[in-house]
Chain A
Amino acid sequence: MSSALVVVGYALRESLRRRVFLVVLVLTAGFLGLYWLGAREAFDDTSGFATGVENVVDTRAFTGATIFGMAMFATLFLGIVLVIFLTLSVVRGDAERGLLQPLVVRPLGRSTLLLARWGGATAVSSLYVLVVYFAALLITKSAGDWTPDHVVGPALALTGGVAAVAALSLLGSVYLSTTANGIAIFMLFGAGLTAGLLGSIGNALENDTLEDVAAVASWALPFEALYQAGLHALISETTGLTGVILQLGPFGVANGASNAIVPWTLVYVGLVLGAAVWAFGRRDL
Chain B
Amino acid sequence: MPEALSASALVKRYGAALALDGVDLSVAPGELVGLLGPNGAGKSTLTKIACGLVRPTSGTAHVCGAPAGSAAARRALGYLAELFRFPDWCSADEVLALHQRLAGSDGGEAERAELLSLVGLAHAREVRVAAMSKGMQQRLGIAQALVGDPRLVLLDEPTSALDPVGRRTVRDLLESLRARGVGVLLNSHLLSEVELVCDRVAIIDHGSVVAAGRPSELARPRGVEVETAAGKRVFAEAGRDDAPRIVSELVAAGEPVYGVRVLTSTLEDVYLEAVGE
Given the contacts A6-B102, A17-B89, A99-B86, A104 and B81 also touching, CB distance less than 8 Å: no
Determine whether the beta carbon of B89 is less than 8 Å from that of A14.
yes
Determine whether the beta carbon of B99 is less than 8 Å from that of A102.
yes
Query: Is B98 among interface residues, defined by CB-CB distance under 8 A?
Result: yes
A107 CA to B72 CA, complexed, in Å? 7
CB distance from B19 to the nearest CB of A (A): 10
C-beta contact mask, A105-135 vs B, less than 8 Å → 1, else 0? 1111100000000000000000000000000
- Return chain B residues, CB-CB under 8 Å to A10: 98
C-beta contact mask, A185-201 vs B, less than 8 Å → 1, else 0? 00000000000000000
A3 CA to B87 CA, complexed, in Å? 18
- Return chain A residues, CB-CB under 8 Å to B141: 102
A10 CA to B90 CA, complexed, in Å? 10
- Return chain A residues, CB-CB under 8 Å to B102: 3, 6, 103, 106-108
Determine whether the beta carbon of B55 is less than 8 Å from that of A284.
yes
Query: Is B83 among interface residues, defined by CB-CB distance under 8 A?
Result: yes
Query: Is A142 among interface residues, defined by CB-CB distance under 8 A?
Result: no
Query: Is A98 among interface residues, defined by CB-CB distance under 8 A?
Result: yes
Determine whether the beta carbon of B53 is less than 8 Å from that of A99.
no
Given the contacts A10-B98, A284-B54, A99 and B87 also touching, CB distance less than 8 Å: yes
CB distance from B137 to the nearest CB of A (A): 10
A5 CA to B10 CA, complexed, in Å? 36
A97 CA to B101 CA, complexed, in Å? 22
Determine whether the beta carbon of A285 is less than 8 Å from that of B86.
no
The residue in A97, A105, A285 that gathers the most chain B C-beta atoms within 10 A of its C-beta is A105
Determine whether the beta carbon of A98 is less than 8 Å from that of B85.
yes
Query: Is B159 among interface residues, defined by CB-CB distance under 8 A?
Result: no
A13 CA to B98 CA, complexed, in Å? 11
Determine whether the beta carbon of A285 is less than 8 Å from that of B87.
no
Query: Is B77 among interface residues, defined by CB-CB distance under 8 A?
Result: yes
Complex interface residues of chain A between 147 and 186 (CB less than 8 A to chain B): none
- Return chain B residues, CB-CB under 8 Å to A108: 102
Determine whether the beta carbon of A107 is less than 8 Å from that of B87.
no
Determine whether the beta carbon of A99 is less than 8 Å from that of B85.
yes
Contact of B81 among A14, A18, A98 (CB under 8 A): A98
Given the contacts A10-B98, A98-B85, A105 and B71 also touching, CB distance less than 8 Å: no
Query: Is B48 among interface residues, defined by CB-CB distance under 8 A?
Result: yes
Contact of A102 among B14, B48, B81, B104 (CB under 8 A): B81
A10 CA to B100 CA, complexed, in Å? 13
C-beta contact mask, B97-136 vs A, less than 8 Å → 1, else 0? 0110111100000000000000000000000000000000
A10 CA to B81 CA, complexed, in Å? 21
- Return chain B residues, CB-CB under 8 Å to A3: 101-102
The residue in A14, A98, A107 that gathers the most chain B C-beta atoms within 10 A of its C-beta is A107
Query: Is A255 among interface residues, defined by CB-CB distance under 8 A?
Result: no
Determine whether the beta carbon of A101 is less than 8 Å from that of B103.
no
C-beta contact mask, A270-285 vs B, less than 8 Å → 1, else 0? 0000000000001011
Given the contacts A14-B89, A102-B144, A285 and B103 also touching, CB distance less than 8 Å: no
Given the contacts A10-B98, A98-B85, A107-B102, A284 and B53 also touching, CB distance less than 8 Å: yes
Contact of A105 among B74, B85, B86, B104 (CB under 8 A): B74
Determine whether the beta carbon of A6 is less than 8 Å from that of B98.
yes
CB distance from A115 to the nearest CB of B (A): 15
CB distance from B151 to the nearest CB of A (A): 13
Query: Is B271 among interface residues, defined by CB-CB distance under 8 A?
Result: no
Determine whether the beta carbon of B79 is less than 8 Å from that of A105.
yes
Given the contacts A6-B101, A98-B83, A99-B87, A105 and B55 also touching, CB distance less than 8 Å: no
Determine whether the beta carbon of A101 is less than 8 Å from that of B55.
no
A97 CA to B85 CA, complexed, in Å? 7
C-beta contact mask, A10-31 vs B, less than 8 Å → 1, else 0? 1001100110000000000000
Which chain A residue has the least Cβ–Cβ distance from B103? A106
Determine whether the beta carbon of A101 is less than 8 Å from that of B53.
yes
Determine whether the beta carbon of B55 is less than 8 Å from that of A282.
yes
- Contacts from B to A (Cβ < 8 Å): 14, 48, 51-55, 71, 74-75, 77, 79, 81, 83-87, 89, 98-99, 101-104, 141, 144
- Contacts from A to B (Cβ < 8 Å): 2-3, 6, 10, 13-14, 17-18, 97-99, 101-109, 282, 284-285
Q: List 20 A-B contacts (CB under 8 A).
A: A2-B101, A6-B101, A6-B102, A14-B89, A98-B83, A98-B85, A99-B84, A101-B79, A101-B84, A102-B86, A105-B52, A105-B53, A105-B77, A105-B79, A106-B103, A107-B74, A107-B103, A107-B104, A282-B55, A284-B14
Nearest 4 interchain pairs by C-beta: A106-B102, A17-B89, A98-B85, A285-B53
